[in-house]
Structure 1
Amino acid sequence: MSIQIMSMKTGSIYTILIAIISLALFNSCSKSNSYNNIVTPPNTSGDVITNLSYGSNIDWKGQTEDLKLDVYLPPNRVAGAKYPLILWVHGGGFLVGDKESAKTFSSDMAARGFVTAPIDYRLGWTKSETNTCDGDSVQAKEAFYRAQQDARAALRYLVANADKYSIDTNWIFIGGASAGGVTSLNLPYFTQEVADSYLGTALTSKLGPLNADNSLTNSFTIKGIMSMWGAVGDLGIITRQNAVPTIFFHGTADAVVPFDIDHFYLCDSYPLAYGTKPVYDLLTSFGTPAVAHVEPGGGHGVFTDDFRADNSACFLNSLMADGKEPERGYYIGDNASSCR
């Protein structure tokens, strides 16, 4: 049994509809738009271009790091056609992880018609292996800032090479899980002014401007976000004017990135985080399309790859569909798909 809570178009007041839902009812996407392969069985017949260098910068230990990304192209591409782009940011607490961990999800999204680019980005800060709350919060903020720099540089690189990789620059999306979810959810709102205010000008001066890593000046606009157990550090950075459509996946008992409002790792020594619930509520109060998939009692990392890929593809395609109402809603449980 699952509980589906559909949000109203405006405000954060929910109309509660409780129903017994069979899994088969929600396992397909039928909404039509200009991108026809909304959901297809994942396969490996699309091309994968690996280890493309999108820039370089100094890591937390003072060493120059060459930054790489992969590009997963949709299978059965039409000559001359362009496809929406997803920049994917892996998780790992800004400490560990790499783009290789995103192979399955990147292949899944490419099979659903998206050019998908997982990136490596600079990692590292001091965190105790024995006491979660015993870590250097300033270094943690620096790691977050480096991830913002790197993700922005990767997007500039991909826009500059859009023709080479069959990218439709009118439809650029970003997504990630955990640290990647935090990076992705903040990126469209994280201007240099916001960074200076949130982190302090001393820190941003130390690390350089947000637009670093390469000399490219290509612009981009994020049209949608996939936030998987992500959060922002300040709700005030999201306004009615700059709000971006977002699909969320989160467990209510996440003890690393809070679902509601709390400190990262639930430690007072780390920055305050505004998770899925407050961000979703704010977006819906603006009338911005948003979907939240919530697992009651779920921890850090919820739902299967297929579930997240299917529902993400449906949400992003609903944003691109001419004359169609984008998907919206608050869904509880792994049987409550938003994919219509």
Structure 2
Amino acid sequence: MKLLIQLLLLLTAVSSCKKDKTTDATVSNPMSVKAAATYAVVTEQNVNYCQGLRHQTLNSASYSTMDLKLDVYKPANNSKKKPAIVFIHGGGFVGGDKSDVNIVNLANYFAARGWVAFSINYRLLSDRGTVPAAWIQYAQSSVPLVDQAQFIAMYPAHRDAKAAMRWLITNADRYDIDTGYITVGGGSAGAVIATTLGITTTTDFTTELSLSNDPSLATTNLSSNNYTVKTILDFWGSGVGVTSINNVYGYQRFDRTDAPIMIAHGTADSTVAYTNAIELQNIYTSTGAAYKLYTLLNRGHGAWDAVVNGKKLEELSFDFIVEQQKLIVE
């Protein structure tokens, strides 16, 4: 994954034409959350958020349809408007699951303080999800052979995460969510996806396929694309998802409207090099979008127990979200 990320960051394409990313949701009233764990957490597991194709071979006419699932962590309170936070597991687009203990811990941490938290699954390399021809052609012409399969797997993973976001918007009333306060976050590959969600347009990683290419798109709430990600939590990830779609389609999605991002990355990370954090920092500095970088000295990949200035990652994340979204802490 390290080689793939470094290659793609060097190949970033620049285009002078860029679409508006989202139509911003209206924030009518200040949102309040709790400083300490206050609410019991009610869990709803294995909720279907859409379907996706699983091909026998890459884009083969022989395929099956699989359900894509997420878990919900709800605070047991009577508030009719709650902020939302979506967590995405890592695993290099090859493995991992929404039940990852670190993701579950984060979901419970935030739900106990008033957020509705979600942990999503998405298709992995072995699922062989549908991939646009242009994405495959780019992989075969510009990505080292050893990384091509992983690069190809990135597309359906991102497509699914976009579908999860549209499901959230469709079901906002069901979970008493105020869609003006949405955070996305994850670790490693999950952080790559989260970063993409907060930077690309709401239709990227969706409209590159048609219903004839992928009939399961009809299950993905395609009309619910009016949302804005307000903050991103990037734990040892990168901007490779954004860079990839820029390169394949000639987009330039990085600009000052990008969601504020908190980056936590170890200097001794041998899986996703620390230079990827610096690359994102430099991009955010150049565009003027808000960011916070926490350098985890001498820490490697997956440093979930990291402490910076006496605070754990979940506490740093809490502070960042509160600051950027101007939440009231009770």
Structure 1 counterpart of 2:290, which letter? P
Q: Does 1:140 align with 2:146?
A: no
Q: Out of 260, 265, 270, which is 1:245 matched to?
A: 260
Q: Structure 2 vs 1, CA of residues 139 and 204 (structure 1 numbering), >3 Å: closer, same or farther? A: farther
Q: Cα distance, 1:213 vs. partner?
A: 5.0
**Could you state the TM-score of these two structures normalised by the residue count of structure 1?**
0.68
Give how far 1:87 is off.
1.2
Contact 1:125 1:140 survives alignment (8 Å): no
Contact 1:71 1:115 (8 Å CA) reproduced: yes
From 184, 189, 202, give the equivalent of 1:179. 189
Partner of 1:37: 33
Distance 1:159 1:290, change over 3 A: same
In the alignment, is the contact (CA less than 8 A) between 2:39 and 2:75 conserved in 1? no
Structure 2 residue runs of 5 or longer lacking an equivalent are: 1-28, 57-62, 128-143, 247-251
8 Å CA contact retained: 2:267, 2:299: yes
More helix by share: 2
Contact map agreement 1:109 1:116 (CA 8 A) in 2:
yes
Deviation at 1:80, TM superposition (A): 4.6
Q: 1:239 Cα shift?
A: 3.2
Does 1:74 pair with 2:75? yes
- C-alpha distance in structure 1 between counterparts of 2:221 and 2:181, whole Å: 23
Structure 1 residue 34: deviation in Å? Answer: 3.9
Q: 2:319 aligns with which of 307, 314, 323?
A: 314
Structure 1: gaps of 5 or more residues: 1-32, 127-133, 261-274, 325-340
In 1, the alpha carbon distance for the partners of 2:69 and 2:123 equals 10
Query: Which residue number corresponds to residue 233 of structure 2?
Result: 226
Deviation digits for residues 67-109 of structure 1 (CA, Å, limit 9, x no counterpart): 001111124x2x3521111111101111111111122111012
Percent identity over the alignment? 31
Distance 2:79 2:111 in 1: 17
Number of aligned residue pairs: give it.
263
Task: Choose from 51, 59, 68 the match for 2:54.
Answer: 59
TM-score, length of structure 2 as denominator length: 0.70
Q: 1:194/1:117 Cα in 2 relative to 1: closer, same or farther (>3 Å)?
A: closer
Say whether the 8 Å CA contact 1:157–1:216 is kept in structure 2: no
Cα deviations across residues 36-72 of structure 1 (Å, max 9, x unaligned)?
Answer: 434313x771211111101111135443221001111
Deviations 1:151-192 (A, max 9, x none): 111111111111111111111111110110111112233459
Residues 119-198 of structure 1 mapped to structure 2, 5 A cutoff: 119-125=120-126, 136-191=146-201
Cα deviation for residue 142 of structure 1 reads: 2.1
Q: What SS does structure 2 have at the residue aligned with 1:47?
A: strand
Residue number in structure 2 paired with 1:263: none
For 1:109 and 1:193, how far apart are their aligned partners in 2? 28
Query: Quick check: 1:240–1:286 contact (8 Å CA) kept in 2?
Result: yes
Q: Alignment partner of 1:73: what SS?
A: strand
Q: Distance in 2 between matches of 1:174 and 1:186?
A: 10
- Local SS of the residue matching 2:268: coil
Superimposed CA distance per residue, residues 258-288 of structure 1 (whole angstroms, 9 cap, x where no aligned partner):
221xxxxxxxxxxxxxx21111222133332
